[in-house]
Structure 1
C-alpha cells in the first residue's frame, strides 16, 4: 500500500512537471559500452626495427616543434593494435551514421578520417564519403599534419560525430585525401586526438573537450584502462584492448583512491611532473625539472639519452642499438627488469612484461625505454602504453590534471584473455552536444514524455546497465 501510494505520488508529480512545461528529468542511461579491437604484433625483426624507427621519428616531430551539469556517462572498449602498435576504438560519423576505427591518442588533438577520394594511397581501410551524409559541411580550409615519417593532408569539415553514446553536432575534423604509407594499416581509418585544443592543427575543439566543457558528463573527465598481450603466446590478430570511460571513472577497474597531478602551465598536452624513476632498485638521475607527457598514442617510453643509458646500465648484458634501432637498447630476455615511477605521490610499478617491447632473437629482447631528442622546450619524458597498462589513468578537464589508480583484480584479469571481439557497431546516443551549447538526445523512444521519465527512474532504482554490442 505504501509502495503503491509512493508510486502514484511520483507519477502525479512527473505528469504535473511535464504538463507545466518545466524541464524533464535526465534522459541519460549510465554505463554505455561500445566494443573495440587490437591487432597482433609481428616478431619479424625487419618490421620491428622499422616500427621502432617510425616511433622515434614520430615523437621528434610530434613534440619537438611544440612549445610547451547535465548527466552523462559512457565508455568505449578498446582494441590493441600492434601494427603500428597503438590502441584504437570506434566512432560513428555522419547522417546516417557510419562507424570507423580510429587511434585514441592523448598526445594529439585532431580528429581526422581518410576520405573516399584518397585513392590507393589510403590502403584498404574503410573511408569516409561526404556525399553519403546529410550533415556534412565543407569549411574549405586546407590542412596538413606531419607525423615524423608519415603525413596526412586534406581539408577541414564539420560533421555529427558519435562516440560511447555521446554525440557532437558540427564537430570540426580533417577529411584526408592524401596519406603516407606509414598509416596504411587496416582497419584504422584515422585518429581521434584526446589532448587539448591549443595543439589542434585543424584549429578545431577536440570531441572530448566539447563534451567536458559543455556539461554533458556527470564528471568532466575520461578514464582509460589498457590490457597487456606482450607476454601472451598465440594471441589472435584481434583481441580486446581495454576501455575508455567517458564522463565517469569505472570503480570496477581500480582500487583505492585516484591520485591526481596538476598539468604544467596552460593545458596543451597531458603533461605533469615526474619526481623519481627507479630501475632494479637503483634511482635513475633525472636531474632538473623533469616533466612527462602521458600519451596513449605512443607504445613505449621516451626519455633523455643520458637517463636512458643509465637505465640500461643497471641491466647486465644490455647493448645500444644501431641503424634503425639507434636510441633503443637490447638486453638478455632472461633478465627480469623492475621499474618504478613516482610523479609526486605513490610509487607505481611497471610489469617486467611491459619492459619488453619485442624479442629480437632467441636470447635478446628490445627494451621499452628509448632515447629521443624531442627538441628544446619539449618535455623530458613521453610516457606511453608500456607504463599505462599498469594503472587506471584519468584525464580531468577541471582542474586540468592526470590521475592514476591501482588496477582492480577485475581489470588485471582482462590481461591476455583470448576473448571474442565484436564487430564495431553504432550505439544509441544518450547525450547530444552542439559545439556552442549542450543539449540532450533521446535513448530510443523512452526519453521523451512522462513515461520515459518514469522508465529512467526505474532504471536508476534497479541499477541496470545497457551494453551496446
Structure 2
C-alpha cells in the first residue's frame, strides 16, 4: 500500500480549558501505562520475552467481579462525512508514533499512540542523558499559553520504570485538531531510552489517573462524525489516525460495528465481544469472551486453554515455554490461516450479523525467529537446546494467572495491523473491516532474527 500523506488542515480554534483537575484519589493504584523499547535496538529474543510478558502484566492489575456482559452490536451507517483531520503514524516495529504541536509558538514532539491508556504526557526536562538525552522536550516557559497547576503527575511502567512530574495545561494540535487540555509533564524518567517525547492515550476518561478529559474526547466535540479511524502501517508504510471520521480508501466493504462491552474495572478501554481464534475458518472454542483492542501492545494474549488449542492446530512442532510463551518450528511456509471471529453470538446483536473472520498474516504470528541454540543461549529456553530447524517465538501468548484478565483476549498490533479499526463515541463501539492489502510477504523471512542485537538481560 502506498504511503499515506498527512492531510493539511487549518488548526481549529482552541476551545476553553476543561474544568480543573479533580482532587479525589486515583481509584486505580496501578494505572495502565505504556513501557516502550528503543526504536534503535534490535528485536532480539530478550526483547521478545519482554513483549510477550508486557501485555499480561499491563492488564494483570485490572480487576472485576463480573463476567463478560453480552451487549448489542450492528452495522454502522455508510453515510460519508468529511473527516476533521488526519495525522500520520510512524511504525517503530513494536509501537507507533504521531506528531503533536504543543504550546504557543508550537513545539513539535513525537508521541507514542496507545488505545489501551488515557493520559497524554510529555517529557518536560531530562535529568539523565542516558534516559532521554536524544529526546525532544517540552519547554513550558517558552509557551505564552501554558497554564501551570500544583498537581503531581506520575506513571509507573511494568518494567520498573517510572516517570514523574506535574500536570499542566496548554493548546495541543494533532492532525489539524487544536484543543486546550491538561497533560502530564515529566521531570524525571527511568527505563525510557527512546527518541519519542511521550504518549498520547486514546482510551476514555475512565482510565485517567486524575480523571482528566483525554485530548481526543475534547476534540470530538467539534467532529461531525463522532469516531476516529486507525490504520497501523508496517515498517516503511505510513499509517494514519483519522479524527472525526474514517478513511474509506483503506478498507474493503463497510465497517461492521460491535458494541462496547467490559467487565467492571475495564470500562476505559475499547472492548468488544469475540468468539476467539480460529484456524482455517474453524473456531477453536464456543465461548464468547471480551477482546481488548490495544495498539500499545505488540502481540496477542488469550486464555490458556484456547491458546493451547491454537498451537495444537498448527501443522508443526510446538514447544510450550512454560512462561505463557510458545515456540513453533517454522522452517517451512506454514499455511496457518488464523483469524479472530466476531458476529451474532447468542443475542448480542442489533441486526442479523453473520459470523465474520478477520484474518492475520502468517508472519504476524511470530515476533522473532532463530535456531534452537539462539533460544537457549539468549532466552534461557533449554527445552530448545540442540533442536534442529528454525524456530519462531509466537506472537500469541497465554495468561499465567487466574485473575479476571485471564478470561479476556488482548488484541495488540499483531491483530490490528491486519484490519482497519474505528472507535465510535456514541453509541460506543468499535468498527472493523479488512484492509484492502497487507504490505509484506506471507512467509517468515520478514520476522526479525532472535540472534540480532543479543541482550544479556
**Distance in 2 separating the partners of 1:101 and 1:360:** 33
TM alignment of 1:171-186, pairs within 5 A: 171-181=181-191, 183-186=192-195
Which runs of no fewer than 5 residues in structure 1 stay unpaired? 1-29, 230-238, 417-469
SS in 2 for 1:336: coil
Distance 1:131 1:218, change over 3 A: same
**Distance in 1 separating the partners of 2:194 and 2:319:** 31
Task: Determine if the alignment matches structure 1 residue 193 to structure 2 residue 213.
Answer: no
Equivalent of 1:128 in 138, 142, 155: 138
Distance 1:44 1:202, change over 3 A: same
Structure 1's consecutive aligned runs of 4 or more residues displaced over 6 angstroms after TM superposition are: 65-68
Alignment correspondent of 1:380: 408
Q: TM-score, normalised by structure 2?
A: 0.72
Instruction: Identify the structure with the greater helix proportion.
Output: 1
Residue-pair matches, total: 360
* TM-superposition CA deviations, 1:175-222 (whole Å, max 9, x none): 1122221x3212x1111000000101132111111111x2x1121111
Give the C-alpha shift of residue 305 in structure 1: 1.9
* TM-superposition CA deviations, 1:306-355 (whole Å, max 9, x none): 22122112223111225xxx211111122332211112142111111211
**Distance in 1 separating the partners of 2:228 and 2:293:** 14
Deviates more, 1:195-204 or 1:310-319: 310-319
Larger Cα-atom Rg: 1
**Distance in 1 separating the partners of 2:261 and 2:298:** 23
Task: Determine if the alignment matches structure 1 residue 285 to structure 2 residue 293.
Answer: no
TM alignment of 1:394-413, pairs within 5 A: 394-409=422-437, 412=438
Alignment correspondent of 2:250: 253
Give the C-alpha shift of residue 109 in structure 1: 0.3
Judge conservation of contact 2:274–2:342 (CA < 8 Å) in 1.
Answer: yes
Q: TM-score, normalised by structure 1?
A: 0.70
Equivalent of 2:162 in 151, 155, 171: 151
Give the C-alpha shift of residue 137 in structure 1: 1.4
Distance 1:407 1:376, change over 3 A: same
Judge conservation of contact 1:273–1:343 (CA < 8 Å) in 2.
Answer: yes
**Distance in 1 separating the partners of 2:121 and 2:356:** 37
Deviates more, 1:132-141 or 1:257-266: 257-266
Which runs of no fewer than 5 residues in structure 2 stay unpaired? 1-5, 11-37, 69-80, 344-354, 372-388, 443-457
Judge conservation of contact 1:228–1:415 (CA < 8 Å) in 2.
Answer: no
Distance 1:44 1:377, change over 3 A: closer
Task: Determine if the alignment matches structure 1 residue 310 to structure 2 residue 319.
Answer: no
Give the C-alpha shift of residue 66 in structure 1: 11
Judge conservation of contact 1:264–1:273 (CA < 8 Å) in 2.
Answer: yes
Distance 1:113 1:201, change over 3 A: same
SS in 2 for 1:360: strand
Distance 1:396 1:194, change over 3 A: same
Distance 1:247 1:258, change over 3 A: same
**Distance in 1 separating the partners of 2:304 and 2:156:** 24
Alignment correspondent of 1:463: none
Alignment correspondent of 2:271: 271
Alignment correspondent of 2:148: 138
Give the C-alpha shift of residue 380 in structure 1: 0.5
Equivalent of 1:97 in 106, 116, 124: 106
**Distance in 2 separating the partners of 1:52 and 1:309:** 15
What is the RMSD of the two structures over their aligned residues, measured on CA atoms? 2.9
* TM-superposition CA deviations, 1:266-290 (whole Å, max 9, x none): 9521011112421255432263x41
Task: Determine if the alignment matches structure 1 residue 87 to structure 2 residue 96.
Answer: yes
Judge conservation of contact 1:269–1:293 (CA < 8 Å) in 2.
Answer: yes
Alignment correspondent of 2:223: 217
SS in 1 for 2:58: helix
